[in-house]
Amino acid sequence: MKVTALAGEVPAALASALAARGLDPVRAEALAAGGAQVALLLEPLDEADAVPLVREAAAAGVDCHTGDGWAVVVGTLARLGGLARGAGPTRMPERLSAELGRFLSGRQERPEAWRTARRTIPLERSCLVGILNVTPDSFSDGGRHFAPADALAGARTMREAGAAILDVGGESTRPGAAGPDEAEELRRVVPVVRALAAEVALPVSIDTRRSRVAEAALAAGAEIVNDVSGLAHDARMLDVVRDAGAGVVIMHMRGEPATMDAHASYGDVAAEVAGELAERRDRAVAAGVAREAIVLDPGLGFAKRPEHNFAVLDRLSSVTALGHPVMVGPSRKRFLGAATGRPVDQRDAATAAACVAARIRGARLFRVHDVAAAREALAVADAVLGA
């Protein structure tokens, strides 16, 4: 007999090993998916719920570790499903099994598309979002696309390089930036959005925290709202997104761009980012925003030190497990300078590498300045992951 390791972290590896040995491929795939190992943190947890949880977990073959107000359950997806259904002797508290069941089914949804105000964008492959900052002061491309004609030319170049979405922003959100007032932000972005929507034939996203800017951009042809405050800065933003049926990027940040560096303090960064994103997503869904319209973004560089950004990338599955497509925006950011020693104008190779790392961990949308470099790296990552 010979022992061969299967690539346990890749369900497709187990599925094809079983299918190659004669198992029905559909059953092989189901078995492989159910065999994936999952760890879930349950918090806050009542004392009264902890006792039956420990007992039920043991009966379901799930490891359970508990402490003051929390529990971690570890097991295969199939066994955690059994735990959520309460197959054991004592019955799980109703609230716990409902929450666990809801999380597990959301996790399995694996969204492969994103609904915007005007279409559905396929996400089976990596989706490149080209950055068009119509600002005089953005940290890496400030001033380059400030005139509408330059923005249009930049957009055409990005489209040729493989961009699938154009993200237009009129406010620099770099740490400590003093933003434009609303009238100035409107003046910057609306003509550019109108021209792009009419002439470039790619979906346009508006990067703004202001509901009036989002509303005007949507009226001018944008179909996605990318809000770095996670829809928290402007109370009307939720209504604007819902009423337009717009696609929306809910990004993680703490505080405001001017003060966010003071909030870069975490005990367990990936779990905290995912937890805070889940709260913002729940708020949006409760306000009537469609689930299929929501993309989540961990907000690389926003209220995060370099080590936080790397940890978030490595543990991105905390965010993908929330059941929405995930966008990342590593492009030319400080944490890449920390790893490579490169200045801001020499970070496109590092950006492409960060995109590949995120793709392997489950991200599908990549917000970048240099679309061509990221496109090429992600074409290889897509081929590996689709193998």
Annotated catalytic residues are: 333, 367
Under rule CB under 6 A, which residues in 9-68 are in contact with ligand HH2?
A: none
Token pair 């993200």 in the structure block, residue? 167
Under rule CB under 6 A, which residues in 71-110 are in contact with ligand HH2?
A: none
By CB under 6 A, tell whether 229 contacts ligand HH2. no
**Residue 97 or residue 351: which is nearer to ligand HH2 going by CB?**
351
Sign for the CA dihedral angle at 218, 223, 229, 232 comes to positive
Closest residue to ligand HH2: CB criterion: 329
The neighbouring-strand residues paired with 64 are 73
Under rule CB under 6 A, which residues in 294-313 are in contact with ligand HH2?
A: 297, 299-300
Residue 165 contacts by C-beta under 8 Å, 6 or more apart in sequence?
Answer: 121, 127, 128, 129, 130, 202, 203, 204, 205, 224, 365
Q: Environment class of residue 348 by beta-carbon count within 10 Å: exposed (0-12), middle (13-18) or buried (19+)?
A: buried
| Phi, psi (deg, nearest 5) at residue 124 | -65, -35
Query: Contact 336/351 with Cβ under 8 angstroms?
Result: yes
Stretch that binds ligand HH2, among 20-28, 265-273, 292-300, 312-320 (CB under 6 A): 292-300
Least spacing, CB of residue 37 vs ligand HH2, in Å: 29
Least spacing, CB of residue 322 vs ligand HH2, in Å: 15
Distance CA 138, CA 242 (A): 29
Under rule CB under 6 A, which residues in 335-364 are in contact with ligand HH2?
A: none
Among 228, 244, 264, 336, binds ligand HH2 (CB under 6 A): 228
**Residue 16 or residue 172: which is nearer to ligand HH2 going by CB?**
172
Stretch that binds ligand HH2, among 55-63, 169-177, 271-279, 344-352 (CB under 6 A): 169-177
Tell me how many residues contact ligand HH2 (CB under 6 A): 22
Among 367, 371, 373, 375, binds ligand HH2 (CB under 6 A): 367
Least spacing, CB of residue 144 vs ligand HH2, in Å: 11
Contacts 24+ apart (CB under 8 A), 269-275: 269/304, 269/308, 269/311, 269/312, 269/315, 270/311, 270/312, 270/314, 270/315, 270/316, 270/318, 270/319, 271/41, 271/315, 271/318, 273/298, 273/299, 273/312, 273/318, 273/319, 274/318, 274/319, 274/321, 274/322
Query: Contact 34/14 with Cβ under 8 angstroms?
Result: no
Q: What is the DSSP track for 54-76? A: HHHHHHHT-EEEEETTEEEEEEE
Among 42, 100, 251, 322, binds ligand HH2 (CB under 6 A): 251
Least spacing, CB of residue 251 vs ligand HH2, in Å: 4
Among 75, 82, 154, 169, binds ligand HH2 (CB under 6 A): 169
Least spacing, CB of residue 345 vs ligand HH2, in Å: 12
Distance CA 176, CA 164 (A): 31
Least spacing, CB of residue 218 vs ligand HH2, in Å: 17
**Residue 62 or residue 231: which is nearer to ligand HH2 going by CB?**
231
Could you tell me which of 347, 381, 305, 384 has the C-alpha nearest to residue 128? 381
Among 152, 220, 322, 327, binds ligand HH2 (CB under 6 A): 327
Under rule CB under 6 A, which residues in 122-141 are in contact with ligand HH2?
A: 131, 133, 135, 138-140
User: Which residues in this chain contact ligand HH2 in the complex, by CB under 6 A?
Assistant: 131, 133, 135, 138-140, 169, 172-174, 207, 226, 228, 249, 251, 297, 299-300, 327, 329, 331, 367
